[in-house]
C-alpha cells in the first residue's frame, strides 16, 4: 500500500525537523561571573545618553558586532532602561575621530580629542555622557565527538553520533565619563558552558548560550552601574 508508506516517510521527516527544533529550543547550563570596579560616582541627566562601542584596532580577538548590538539593545530596554546612541550613529557623528585607527585608547587621548572645539560641540549636540568600551570575545574550545548525517534510501534524513564542545565568553567594559574626562569604572562578564548534540536518527542539540548570558549580565551591570539606585535587575541564580 503506497499511501501509508508515504505517510510514514513524511512523518519521519517531520519528526526529524521537529526533534531538531525542540533540541534547538533547549539550552545547556551556563556558569557566569560578573565583577565591577567603581572609580567614581555616576549619574545620567535628561537628554544625556550612552554609547556602547567595541575596539576595532586589534588584529585578533575583535568583539563580535552582535554582542555590542545585544548589549546596546538590552541596556536600552526593560527595567532601568537607559538612553542609548548606537555605535554607528556615534562614529558617524564624530567622524573621523573614533575610527579603528584613530579612536582614543586612553583618557589622555580622549581629553585631547574632546577638547577640540568642533568635537566638543558635536558631542554636546548628540548628548553623549558615557562611552562604554567593550573588549572580549566568545570562544569555542574542546570540541569532541562526531556527528554524521545522511539520507537513507527513501529520502529519510538521519544523524548518528555525539558531539560536544565548551564555549567561554569573556568580556570587559571600561566606562568613560565624557563630561568629566575620566574613567568611572570597569565591568566584566564571564560565562562558560558545555553544549552537546546527541543524535540517534534525530539530532537533539542542547546549546549552552554563553554569549547571550554574558550579554544579559553585562547589560544589567551597565544599568546598575550608571543608576546605582536601581534595585538588582536579576534574581540570583540557584
Nearer to other proteins, 153 or 232 (CB): 153
CB 203 within 8 A of CB 147: yes
Q: Minimum CB separation from other proteins for residue 66, in Å?
A: 7
Residue whose C-alpha is closest to residue 135's, from 81, 57, 204: 57
CB of 166 vs other proteins, minimal distance in Å:
12
Smallest separation (angstroms) from other proteins to the CB of 155:
4
Question: In the complex, what is the shortest distance from the CB of residue 146 to other proteins, in angstroms, rounded to a whole number?
Answer: 5
SS3 at position 32: strand
Pairing of strands 182-203, 30-38: antiparallel
Antiparallel, parallel or unpaired: β 84-85 and 49-54: parallel
Find cell 567614581 and name the residue: 40
For 152-181, where are the E strands, in sequence order? 157-177
Question: Which residues, listed in sequence order, are joined to residue 138 by a DSSP beta bridge?
Answer: 169
Q: For residues 48 and 64, which CB has a smaller minimum distance to other proteins in the complex? A: 64
Decide whether 36 or 62 has the Cβ nearer to other proteins: 62
Among residues 87 and 220, whose Cβ is nearest to other proteins?
87
Q: What are φ and ψ of residue 90, in 5° steps? A: -70, -50
Q: What does the binding site for other proteins look like in residue numbers (CB under 8 A)?
A: 5-6, 9-10, 13-14, 17, 56, 59-60, 62, 64-66, 92-97, 99-102, 118-119, 122, 137, 143-151, 153-157, 163, 165, 195, 197, 205
The minimum distance between CB 38 and other proteins, in angstroms, equals: 31
Residue 190 · residue 168 · CB < 8 Å: yes
Instruction: Compare residues 91 and 132 and give the one whose CB is closer to other proteins.
Output: 91
Amino acid at each position: 500500500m503506497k499511501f501509508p508508506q508515504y505517510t510514514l516517510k513524511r512523518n519521519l521527516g517531520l519528526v526529524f525537523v521537529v526533534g531538531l527544533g525542540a533540541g534547538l529550543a533547549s539550552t545547556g547550563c551556563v556558569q557566569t561571573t560578573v565583577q565591577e570596579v567603581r572609580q567614581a560616582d555616576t549619574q545620567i541627566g535628561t537628554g544625556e545618553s550612552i554609547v556602547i562601542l567595541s575596539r576595532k584596532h586589534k588584529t585578533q580577538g575583535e568583539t563580535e558586532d552582535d554582542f555590542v548590538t545585544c548589549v546596546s539593545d538590552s541596556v536600552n530596554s526593560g527595567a532601568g532602561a537607559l538612553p542609548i546612541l548606537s555605535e554607528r550613529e556615534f562614529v558617524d557623528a564624530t567622524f573621523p575621530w573614533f575610527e579603528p585607527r584613530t579612536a582614543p585608547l586612553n583618557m589622555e587621548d580622549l581629553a585631547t580629542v574632546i577638547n577640540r572645539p568642533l568635537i566638543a560641540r558635536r558631542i554636546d549636540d548628540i548628548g553623549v555622557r558615557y562611552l562604554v568600551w567593550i573588549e572580549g570575545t566568545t570562544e569555542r574550545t574542546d570540541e569532541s565527538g562526531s556527528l554524521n548525517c545522511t539520507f537513507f534510501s527513501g529520502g529519510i534524513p538521519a544523524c548518528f553520533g555525539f558531539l560536544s564542545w565548551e564555549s567561554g565568553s569573556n568580556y570587559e567594559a571600561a566606562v568613560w565619563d565624557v563630561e568629566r574626562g575620566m574613567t568611572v569604572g570597569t565591568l566584566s562578564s564571564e560565562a562558560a558552558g558545555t553544549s552537546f548534540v546527541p543524535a540517534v536518527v534525530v539530532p537533539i542539540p542542547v546549546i549552552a548560550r554563553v554569549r547571550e548570558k554574558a550579554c544579559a549580565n553585562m547589560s544589567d551591570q551597565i544599568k546598575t552601574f550608571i543608576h546605582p539606585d536601581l534595585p538588582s535587575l536579576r534574581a540570583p541564580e540557584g
